[in-house]
Chain A
Amino acid sequence: MPTSTPPSIARYGDLMRSGELTSTGLIQSVLDRIAETEPLVSAYAFVDRSGALAAAHRADDELRHGTDRGPLHGIPIAIKDVIATADMPTLAGSRVPLGALTEADATVVGLLRAAGAVILGKHVTHEFACGQNVPPTRNAWDHDCYPGGSSAGAGVSVAVGSCVAAIGTDAGGSVRKPAALNGVVGLKPTYGRVSRAGVIQPSGSMDHVGLVTRYVADAAVILQAIAGAVPGDPSTIAEPVPHFGAYLSEPVAGRRVGVVSRSFLGGDDPAVTAATQAALTVLGGLGADLIEVDMPSLPLVDATTTVILAAEAGYSHLALLRAYAASYGPATRRYLQLGALVPAPFLQAAYKARATIARDVSHVFDTEGVDVLVTPTTPLRALPLAEMSIERDLVRYVRHTALANLTGRPAVTVPCGFGDGLPIGLQLMGRPFREAELLGMAAAYEAAAPWAAATPAISS
């Protein structure tokens, strides 16, 4: 099944700077791949062919004339359809009119353009990133299976090679889940690390801009371009921006890896359990110290996540629900209506539970000296869509990822195996604003395991 391994962003850059590849050539090859794969996976809501080629020509001209914008110069990146772009539509997967909300580039898009990236188009999202509806996107490894979400197009597209990297959003796992279920890397940075200005977000306190890439090193490159406080932007936090690639070649011997207790992990899927155990063996073999940890408040994660996400999303959509209720898809509309009706004591109890969970997680890092916390990214592999129930399965899917949203901590998923041909992800969660160390640990595992080379055999 696995076919040839695609180059990293750094490799594409080397080829461009040596004259063996142009951005125009790279963009054209990716557009060809989009034409080949879209009939099967429907990862894109919009492809800006002419705009991408024009940007690629400009990137090539700049390089020829000595202007090098850095590692993303001429690299094709696609954007989730809840992130505003001035030159292409932003519909959030919905028929609800959004007007001025989407007319200017989101800050993250502006930063990518300034870094030389070529914006290819918009990736499919579940309606308003709520995860309640069924978008047309299909899993890269099995087209009858759930692609993950809500950054569904991002995970699938990177997996099939119809973009080099993707920008998504993650309020409960919406970047890491589709990345894991499609066998690629997904990073949710620390809350406040990347601007959310210009992003249509369901939940102000849980939502993050994140990214999906083929390799951990690619994630470091993109985060470098988009991280940092923006003056006057309350969605960012003023923390120094380090070199995110600084630890990519560092040994992990002696690093303390917290393994979350089995009672939380659930054991829903034996293949996930086996792959996680094998990954821990790899980390142990690299010299990391594996420490089983427990946190008394973990049983509160599901309910806390459910209440906060629904209530914050419901409130943020109240005006649109009043004006355009019939324009929403039924499942999304009912989810948002429910959120708008959540009683205040429920929300306050959830906020207090979140503080309790955050305290327990901090204890593990600060008192027990854990450097990273490891879980399966999702407790189960991609389910067949025909067997899937939102009521039953959505909360299960985000149980492990939401822990990082509730606490604001950075978390990354890396591929850690397969079960019956479906990918499995390993999640590593770190200390706030310590993405560099987190990516270093993820890169060490990636280099020691064979999974980064796996790509789905897909052709029309």
Chain B
Amino acid sequence: MKITSVPDEPSIAELDSIRRLAALVSLPLMEEDIAPLASSMRRLVASVEPLLAADCASVPEPTLFDPRR
């Protein structure tokens, strides 16, 4: 019984991007994490496309989150 997660094979450029991003926020990465992270970032980028395409920019957003608004 094991919850499985099968990462896709990331490109060299994707691996480099993850290293650079992590360095920017002083986030130390273990070598074994870089490829899975790059694959996850690829999936995140794909999943966020509908948000970027939804054109919600003009929607008023509360300055502080409050469920009553």
- A residues touching B (Cβ–Cβ < 8 Å)? 133-134, 144, 190-192, 205, 237, 297, 299-300, 302-304, 306-307, 310, 318, 321-322, 325-326, 330-331, 333-335, 337-338, 340-342, 345-346, 349-353, 355-356, 358-359, 384-386, 388-391, 407-409, 432-433
* Size category, B interface: 35 or more
Cβ-defined contact, B65 with A346, below 8 A: no
Provided the pairs A302-B47, A385-B1 are in contact, do residues A353 and B54 lie with their beta carbons within 8 angstroms? yes
Residues in chain A near residue B68, CB distance under 8 A? 237, 432-433
**Residues in A neighbouring B41, C-beta threshold 8 A:** 338, 341
**Inter-chain contacts of A144 with B (CB < 8 A):** 1
Residue A391 contacts which of B5, B21, B26, B66 (CB distance < 8 angstroms)?
B5
Rounded to whole Å, the gap between the CB of B38 and the closest CB of chain A is: 10
Closest beta carbon of chain B to A142's beta carbon, Å? 12
Specify the main secondary structure of chain B where it touches its partner: loop
What's the dominant secondary structure at chain A's contact region? helix
User: Which A residues touch B3, using CB under 8 A?
Assistant: 133-134, 385, 388-390
22 pairs of residues in contact across A and B, judged by CB atoms under 8 Å: A134-B1, A134-B2, A237-B68, A297-B54, A303-B47, A303-B48, A306-B47, A321-B27, A322-B26, A322-B28, A330-B33, A333-B33, A334-B40, A337-B29, A337-B37, A345-B52, A346-B44, A346-B51, A355-B59, A385-B2, A389-B4, A391-B43
Q: In the complex, which of the residues A321, A322, A340, A350 contacts B51, with contact meaning CB atoms closer than 8 Å? A: A350
A340 partner residues in chain B, CB cutoff 8 A: 25, 27
Q: Are A355 and B62 in contact (CB under 8 A)?
A: yes
In this complex, what residue of B is CB-closest to A138?
B1
Checking B1, B51, B61 against A307 with a beta-carbon cut-off of 8 angstroms, the contacting residue is: B51
Residues from 50 to 69 in B contacting A, C-beta threshold 8 Å: 50-52, 54, 56-57, 59-62, 65-69
Chain A neighbourhood of B4, CB < 8 A: 388-390
* Most A CB within 10 A of own CB, among B3, B25, B43: B3
Interface flag for B30 (CB, 8 Å) = yes
B5 lies within 8 A of A326 (CB): no
* Shortest Cβ gap from A331 to chain B (Å): 7
